[in-house]
Chain A
Amino acid sequence: MRQLSPEDIEALSVGAWILGTGGGGSPYHALLNLRRFYNDGVRINLIDPDELDDDDAVAVVSIMGAPLVFQERLVDSRLIARAVSAMEEHLGRKFRAVMPVEIGGGNGMQSLLAAVHLKIPVVDADAMGRAYPEAQMTSFAVGNLAPYPLTSIDPRGNEAIVGKTSSWKWMERVSRKLCTEFGSIVATCKAPRTGAEVKKWAIPRTTSKAINLGRAVVEANRQHADPIAAILKAESGKLLFSGKVVEVERRTTEGFLRGRTVIEGLGENHGSQIRVDFQNEWIVVWRDGQAVVSTPDLICVLDSESGEAIGTETIRYGQRTTVIALPAAPVFLSPRGLDHVGPRAFGYDIDFKSVFCS
């Protein structure tokens, strides 16, 4: 167990946004909340999955909803804590620790806010190793663990418990409906996990990974060094392309933000283009009609100067961007893993080939 420092919290917000691969919501409001607590002297503990006992109960939390609504309703730390307490009441037992369902974006920090009120530690693990849009796109779903129960909480005091669903996809459908009805932003406590399940199926040490990434960026910027080189070095990433955004196309279908952006090369990439398709997160990178990277490899579009991540909702004309790839969690590279999060899970009829395998 280690105590997270104020610098860790700042670094986590930068790193989680990079691991958001374009989605997951901005960590900005969560960071503001955490800063307030840290200024008041509150500290959060991070425990390694290996420190859990097999029969410990672990709460898996997230904020679900539309980023647009997020910008208005802001995130309230007590709401996330309430989602966990509601689950404790439902189960009749207390949680030993809390963990994020996804490390990418704002959700990489929400578990910390729950931990503040519940006074329990945060497990250094998540179920995606990045951000993904749907419930069945988790390592727990790949592991065929139970998708239920789930609590869904809105700030007006509306609380729902989904007792049972027949599959992860059904859980996705039902929880999405609840979310919409509650105003398109809710706090959820997902299916509880045992210590044994976390150790077997969760993706370990992703909060530490996000902190390291963020620290590399902050440190490089402070020394006026190249933050992108620092990211590649910190997480053995691959530089794919550097250029300027010349086209952005967005549309919503079935509640998802879909679209693509075209980036025109600068410097070494002068004279060529890439296209990056997204569904909330960056999904496939195309070059000359060929898919060169695809999910589950992490595709990160970064500001070429600051190294900061750029979201699919905010990318715009003229931005100087560098596209990199980071390796996916091994659990998603198995045939079963690819069924859940490979390119076909997003409607692309292409085979996955990791850029890290050649």
Chain B
Amino acid sequence: MRRIGIDVGGTNTDAVLIDDAKVVQGVKVATTADVTSGVATAIEALHLSANLAAGIDALMIGTTHFINAVVQRRHLTKVAVIRIALPATSSLPPFTDWPAGLAELANGGVWQIEGGHDYDGRRFATLDIAAARQIAREIRNRAQKYVVVNALFSPLDPSDEKVVAAILREEIPDVSVTCAHLLGGIGLLERENAAILNASLIALAEETITAFEHAKSKVGLNAPLFVTQNDGTVAEASRAAAYPVFSFASGATNSMRGAAYLSGLKEAVVVDVGGTTADFGHLRNGFPREANAVVHIGGVRTLFRMPDLVSIGLGGGSHVDLDAGTIGPLSVGYRLSKEALVFGGNGVTATDIGVAAGLIDLGDRKRVAHITADEVNGILRRCKEMLEENVDRLKTSAEDVTLIAVGGGAFLVPEELQGVGRVVRVQHGGCANAVGAAIAQVSGEVDQVFQGLTRDEAVASARKLADTRAVEAGAEPASLALVEAEDTPIAYLPGNAMRVRVKVVGDIRSTRIEKTAKEKVACQSVS
């Protein structure tokens, strides 16, 4: 299998070519304002021959574009929201507790109707189908296209959301419906918020992915396009366009997955030191540990699975104050190649300290000769403290951990750190994020409440469902492996209720192999 992995970061766009299990080459180009020309440039920089380009199985792209759109409040479309939960929940309607500016941009009208289920699967109230149809017509008359449907306890029983989505599709031919049960677990408001953010980004996601496809054909690649997700897996482009929130944190995840892959380690702490920030995460079973908690995005409270990360303002471009002995959090970012001392700039950056200390060889060394050894050591000591403190925040026990240091600023990570057994550096570590994108697998996930089953039976049922979902998403059935199974008993519910979360991953089914198999079948039927 030959794949290209690309990570579009804030400063650089990294690309790697992987053949079977080996990184053939990696390149770094500057990220462009329009995102996609940087992607085309990165692929071009790999210098693929026509022959090689034809032999690429998949192109995987990771991007921070969608989360930036929310944070910067740009490119968001208005969303109509239908909540199916009356007579409950009406005192806290959709968009409750949103930052005012963001709500104004995204609120395209709110409707609440009767329906939904209870935690035990019983119906809560009869679904008001007549009201749903009436609302669908109102939305059509307002010429709105993006709609969120959220029903009471829909993660346990999504049928009402599905019925209302079908009505919307009947009444509004080009509607785009986001069903909340596909985005988040239990937590009505938080799930709804995630669904609204998602719906408001679909137009941008479709546009971005079309542009990626464009960049792909521009460089003569016709491999299928995948987009990387928060959990370290990938989704086919069309699915990714429908679920942009699942790509929110893929950059950091890709680095961690790449670090795991390049080092061969499955349990470790990873630090990715980039131009602006250092991101810390914990690898468990080769995947980033996920935060089981509410995540605020652009000031909106959401609940969907994101990697558990710590980010600090420490990177190769961080400003250094020699007098105060401090580093960061401000950074010169993508202007590093002009503003660092060694590149002819005026301000001292972490990169200049690295050059002065002999940790890296970049630019004009003479330009940092005036920085004293004491000053250099002071800054490196501060750097070490910051790294130690944040590695410790992620640890789950007092034992020493292995730390994998990746990213362009990894030279800032010293060999000896308190609480760290050893520091691992890897070849191609500067492009770990692109490697993580290139090796990404497909996943299937389940988060559901089971009742009246033993623990083993409940976990087994969840596993089966997760397998099916992974295969539907494009995984090779034979390659499926369990990465996570967690069961939590639930207070006050009768009948041994327990919430089970299971995740499986598998390799992407190779389209080339499928084609060959189909051709064979065709030949046989002819002969």
Which residues of A come within 8 Å of B, CB atoms?
29, 32-33, 36, 65-69, 71-78, 155-157, 179-180, 183-184, 244, 246, 250-252, 255-257, 264, 280, 313-314, 316-318, 320
A164 to B369, CA, bound (A): 88
B497 proximity list for chain A (CB < 8 A): 252
A76 touches B91 (CB 8 A): yes
Chain B interface, >50% SS class: loop
B490 contacts partner chain A, Cβ-Cβ < 8 Å: yes
B92 proximity list for chain A (CB < 8 A): 29, 32-33, 36, 74
Chain B residues numbered 96-136 whose CB sits less than 8 Å from any CB in chain A: 96-97, 118-120, 122, 124-125
Q: Distance (Å) between the CB of B103 and the closest chain A CB?
A: 14
A264 to B399, CA, bound (A): 12
A76 touches B88 (CB 8 A): yes
Type the 1/0 row for B462-500, where 1 means its CB is closer than 8 Å to any CB of A: 000000000000000000000000001111111011010
A66 touches B91 (CB 8 A): no
A32 touches B96 (CB 8 A): yes
B152 proximity list for chain A (CB < 8 A): 72-73
Residue of A nearest to B395 (CB): A318
B491 touches A67 (CB 8 A): yes
Knowing A76-B88, A156-B87, A183-B119, the reply to whether A316 touches B293 (Cβ < 8 A) is yes
B396 touches A73 (CB 8 A): no
A36 touches B119 (CB 8 A): no
A251 touches B187 (CB 8 A): no
A167 to B186, CA, bound (A): 36
A183 proximity list for chain B (CB < 8 A): 118-120, 122, 124
B89 contacts partner chain A, Cβ-Cβ < 8 Å: yes
A246 to B397, CA, bound (A): 6
Chain B residues numbered 4-40 whose CB sits less than 8 Å from any CB in chain A: none
B292 contacts partner chain A, Cβ-Cβ < 8 Å: yes
Type the 1/0 row for B374-410, where 1 means its CB is closer than 8 Å to any CB of A: 0000000000000000000111111000000000000
A316 to B394, CA, bound (A): 12
Q: Total A-B residue pairs with C-beta atoms closer than 8 Å?
A: 115
Residue of A nearest to B92 (CB): A74
B90 touches A246 (CB 8 A): no
A75 to B91, CA, bound (A): 8
B89 touches A74 (CB 8 A): yes
A36 to B91, CA, bound (A): 9
Partner of A71, one of B91, B188, B449, B493: B188
A320 touches B393 (CB 8 A): yes
B491 touches A255 (CB 8 A): yes
Chain B residues numbered 396-439 whose CB sits less than 8 Å from any CB in chain A: 396-398
B81 contacts partner chain A, Cβ-Cβ < 8 Å: no
A317 to B398, CA, bound (A): 12
B97 proximity list for chain A (CB < 8 A): 32
12 extra interchain contacts, Cβ-Cβ under 8 A, other than A74-B91, A256-B492?
A33-B91, A65-B492, A68-B119, A68-B186, A69-B492, A71-B187, A74-B188, A75-B91, A76-B91, A180-B494, A184-B119, A250-B488
A309 to B89, CA, bound (A): 25
B293 proximity list for chain A (CB < 8 A): 314, 316
A180 touches B489 (CB 8 A): no
Partner of B88, one of A66, A73, A264: A73
Knowing A33-B92, A36-B91, the reply to whether A66 touches B491 (Cβ < 8 A) is yes
Knowing A33-B92, A68-B119, the reply to whether A251 touches B397 (Cβ < 8 A) is no
B492 proximity list for chain A (CB < 8 A): 65-69, 179-180, 184, 255-257
Q: Distance (Å) between the CB of A54 and the closest chain B CB?
A: 35
B88 touches A252 (CB 8 A): no
A6 to B36, CA, bound (A): 48
B396 proximity list for chain A (CB < 8 A): 246, 317-318
